[in-house]
Structure formats: C-alpha cells, structure tokens
Structure 1
C-alpha cells in the first residue's frame, strides 16, 4: 500500500502530476482541484495516494489532502462510478460542493459533470446520503472564513440556523449556500441570522 508520496514536483501533464523521488518520476493521476493547489514546478510536494490495480496496469491516484482522497474513495463506492468518473467529479466539484449536493439531494449538480449521466447522478445521491457530513463541512468552511477570529460563537450560530432552516423544510444544500452569502460576526444572534437568511432565500 502506498499511502502518500513526497518529492519534487517535476511536471504536470494534463491530469498527471509527475513527482520525482530518489531519481524516479512517479506519474500520479490527480483531480483539477488538486492540481490548482499545487506549488510551482521544482517545489516539494506531498500527495495523499491510493493505488488501484487492474489486470494490465497499476495506477496511482494522488490528492492534495486527505479529505479529497476520502471523497474519491466514497465516490468509488457508488455503482457506475470508476476512478476516471470520480476524478472528473472532483475536477468539477469541491469536496464541500459534493457534500452540499448530497445533503440537498441535488442530483443535477452531479449530472452537470461531464461523463456523469442522470441515473449515475441519482445513484450517487442515494449511495452517499449516509456517508457525508454536511454540518462538519460547513463548520470547516466557517472556520476557514473566520481564520484568526473567535470562531466558536459564529459556528454555533450558523449550525443552529442551518438546522432551523432544514426543520422548516429547506434543503440543506440551499440553506448552506444562502448562509454562505451572509455576513456574520461573533455578536450575530441566531434570530438575526435566521431572519436575514430567510430574506436572502426568498430571492433564490
């Protein structure tokens, strides 16, 4: 098992990242999300990897972080999605996009990915429904957005509002997108944020 590879970023050829380690250049199939986050050619890089053997080949897939690798593995568990399809999805959608789409039963988001048909998109929603964490993903995004600030009160308020919107019948996907557009500070109250978000959603 090859869990990660660390070395010098030698080249990028379409979706193949070449990492040189001890004089050997390893070709690693990667998503565009990963490729967009890579440092300059010649820099040191570390990719989280998964080796997938076939009868006539061994292909190493690599990702910028463990979250994307985990999502890649979850996508492979969906009937009709192989490594190529999973990479295509992760090239068109971020991990958070996928989590929000699954939570909101938004099959159209998957169907918009090249090579993913309607049936496969619907299957992805069904197969991944109990495997993704919408709240966890949303917390992570809030934490990143409020880097350097006291995040606990803000996270708590957004969690409460998200849960309230879902309880009111809104999809988690739409609720999360609406909340993402809201301005929040540590002094924002749940009631204020809920009211402002409901107004925002009326225009969606």
Structure 2
C-alpha cells in the first residue's frame, strides 16, 4: 500500500498530476478540493494517498488532508460507490459539506453530484450516517507545511491546452457529461480565469 508521497509536481492536468518522487513519476488523481490547494509546478508537496488495484488498472488517488482520505475510504465501502465516484463527490463538495449533507439527510444536495441518483443518495445516508460521526471534518484553513517551497528545476511541459478546454476535460474526467461540462464552463467563463478557477466556479454553480 502506498500511503503517502512527497515529491515535486512536474505536470498538472486537473484532476490529475504527475509527481516526481526520487526520479519516479507517479500519476495521481485528486478530488478538486485537494487540487485547489496544490502549489505551482516545480514545488514540493506531500500527499496522503490511496492505492487501488483492479484487473485492468492500478490507480493512485491523492489528498492534501488525512481526514479527506479517511472520508474517501469510507465512501468506497458503500454499496455502488467506487473510487471514481468517491473522487467526483469530493470534488463537487468539501468533505465537511458532504458529511453535513449525510448527517442531515440532505438528499437534494447529494443527487446534484454526477452518478448519484436518489437511490444512491438514500443509500449513502443509511450506510454512512453512523460511520461519519467518527471522522473529524478537515479544517477549512488547512495548509500543507511543504506546499510553498519552490525548487529550481527544468519544467516538464504538458501539451498546451486552453484553460477552457482543460476545465471541460476535468469535469468530464470527474463524471460529468460533456454537454453538461461545456455548458457549465461556458456559463462561468472569463478570459483571464485559470482552468482551476473555471472548474471551481462551475462546480460551485452546479451544487
């Protein structure tokens, strides 16, 4: 099990990053709530991770907060929720918001997440309500002590894409239909916005 990684961010393509750890590049997918907290390229960061092994893939999910990883692990134990959907849920709302939605049985908020229908939302409430009481919600002002230590290095450049296209691609990767992703990004688009800002605004508008 890979439980934690500390390395240099050499590529960022939300919701994925490429993390250089001692010369080995790890592809890591993060919920957007964690992605927003990442430093710039060529900066060092420490991530708590969860490693998923399937017949057709090996996937590594990363989190800037230990509690968010704990919530992710509780989520994937629920019936009908896999790692991809858990990551999508934690991208659309913070860990604290999700926990409040479950504890207050707010089905309306939960079904706004792609892949979460009414039955799934009701099942999440039933299965997780008691389990979430043992998890402390991540602090809103959490900051990683290693997040702002840039180093001198030659950047590895990802393929050039516009912020708009990158944001649409990120929403699609998170489980949103392309038409819905395009409409959501178009509604919040401004010329000077970064892809991360567009994704944040689009997700906020959809919740």
With normalisation by structure 2, the TM-score equals: 0.64
Contact 2:71 2:135 in 1 (8 A): no
- 1:187-202 equivalences in 2 (<5 Å): none
Higher share of residues assigned helix: 1
Alpha-carbon distance in structure 1 between the residues aligned to 2:82 and 2:135: 27
Which residue number in structure 2 is paired with residue 41 of structure 1? 41
Which residue number in structure 1 is paired with residue 31 of structure 2? 31
C-alpha displacement of 1:99 = 1.2
Give the 4+ runs in structure 1 shifted more than 6 A: none
Contact 1:99 1:134 in 2 (8 A): no
Gaps of 5+ in 1: 145-204
RMSD of the TM alignment (CA)?
Answer: 1.9
C-alpha displacement of 1:136 = 4.9
Which residue number in structure 1 is paired with residue 75 of structure 2? 75
C-alpha displacement of 1:79 = 0.6
- Pick the structure with greater CA Rg: 1
Instruction: Note if 1:63 corresponds to 2:63.
Output: yes
C-alpha displacement of 1:29 = 1.2
C-alpha displacement of 1:133 = 2.7
With normalisation by structure 1, the TM-score equals: 0.65
Higher-RCO chain (CA-CA 8 Å, sequence separation at least 6)? 2
Contact 1:30 1:62 in 2 (8 A): yes
Alpha-carbon distance in structure 2 between the residues aligned to 1:10 and 1:109: 35
